[in-house]
Amino acid sequence: MTTRVGVVTFPGSLDDRDAQRAVRLAGAEPVALWHRDKDLHQVDAVVLPGGFSYGDYLRCGAISRFSPVMDTIIEQAKLGMPVLGICNGFQVLCESHLLPGALTRNDSLHFICRDQKLRIENASTAWTGDYTQGQEIVVPLKNGEGRFVADEHVLDALEAEGRIVARYLDVNPNGSYRDIAGISNAAGNVVGLMPHPEHAIEPLTGPTTEGLGFFTSVLKQLVSA
Amino acid sequence: MARVVVDVMLKPEILDPQGQAVQRALPRLGFDGIADVRQGKRFELELEGPVDDAALARIREAAETFLANTVIEDFTVRVEESQ
């Protein structure tokens, strides 16, 4: 049976189609999920895509977090369903308290759009199993509020528990504490990532194809589960 | 109608690059002597009913769960007297 990976569309989501395409290229069946529908339509995993859901009103991800689909996703994520939040999706996961910390305005105040080098720090989450520990990849990054902040205790705990999934290399584009580009929950099924692996899956449109690993990783994880 | 004001500010330890940008712009415009600027949000909530303890408790709950992200922000709730 084909693995079904849901991609949520909120009003203002931008990268839902790219995420669906990444899911398809990885070999799974993408399933479009609508923010007002509580039903996850038997998906095995969920991607929360990038964009500007609800126009970033109030705070990025703050309103999406209370959408009907998120009630079910939060419930299922706590039961172990893999969830990947990219960019705005990462913000939604922090606002949902599925991940600690928060994403705030870039320290430069500029919207940053560049090809970004990352180091995969934890290759054992549901979304990074196809990478090797310490592997360096380049994927696009585009955000205005991508600066990961958390208090020192939380940062120390994330480091100690191996929950920093990816770090910025060469340049810290937004002032994120400890160069954090992505983190996971304690179980490793929920991952939030500020850069965009779904834009680095084909040579025609991406700087590399090194982003595809996030989507192939979850397939293997689900097949072996 | 009764008005309740919720002020939301970034916690002191969280860098506020917007406030810093405002502060840097002030001297250029001739406004000197301002040592620091922090930028926040103000919500004005018009209540349908009276501002009693129950209503204020609900507003505090709304502020805590929704209007502010208490990971990075503090909030205050106060009743604005009608003129």
Looking at the complex, report in whole angstroms how far the Cα of residue A109 sits from the nearest Cα belonging to chain B.
Answer: 7
- Catalytic annotation, residues of A: 87, 196, 198
Confidence label for A223 from pLDDT (cuts 50, 70 and 90): confident
Tell me the per-residue pLDDT of A192-221, one tens digit each, with 9 for 90 and over. 999 999 999 999 999 999 999 999 999 998
Contact A64, A92 (CB under 8 A): yes
Predicted confidence at residue B1, as pLDDT, reads: 73
Q: Please name the residue ranges forming H helices in chain A.
A: 16-26, 68-78, 88-95, 152-160, 212-224
Helix or strand holding residue B61 (H, E): helix B53-62
Q: Does A197 touch chain B (CB under 8 A)?
A: no
**Nearest CB to A109: which of B13, B21, B72?**
B21
Residue type, B37: V
CATH number at residue A63: 3.40.50.880
User: What does the pLDDT look like over A109-134, one tens digit per residue?
Assistant: 999 999 999 999 999 999 999 999 99
Q: Can you give the residue ranges of every domain in chain B? A: 2-80
Contacts of A149 in chain B (CB under 8 A): 14-15, 72
pLDDT in tens, B16-74: 999 999 999 999 999 999 999 999 999 999 999 899 999 999 999 999 999 999 999 99
Enter the ipTM.
0.85
HSE-CB of B61 using CA atoms within 13 angstroms: 6
**What is residue A98's predicted lDDT score, i.e. its pLDDT?**
98
Number of structural domains found in chain A: 1
pLDDT, position B83:
56
pLDDT at B8 over 90: yes
Note the residue count of chain A: 225
Contacts A150 to B, Cβ<8 Å: 71
Q: Which domain holds residue A73?
A: 4-224
The one-letter amino acid at B17? P
- CB-based contact B71 A94, cutoff 8 Å: yes
Nearest alpha carbon to residue A186 among A168, A162, A170? A162
d(CA A126, CA A225): 10
Helix (H, G, I), strand (E, B), or coil: what is residue A96? coil
SS (H, E, C) A181-212: EEEECCCCCEEEECCCHHHCCCCCCCCCCCCH
* Second-level CATH architecture of B2-80: 2-Layer Sandwich (3.30)
pLDDT band of residue B81 (cuts 50, 70, 90) is confident
A150 at B interface, C-beta within 8 A: yes
How far is Cα A3 from Cα A222, in angstroms, rounded to an integer? 8
Any A CB within 8 A of B17 CB: yes
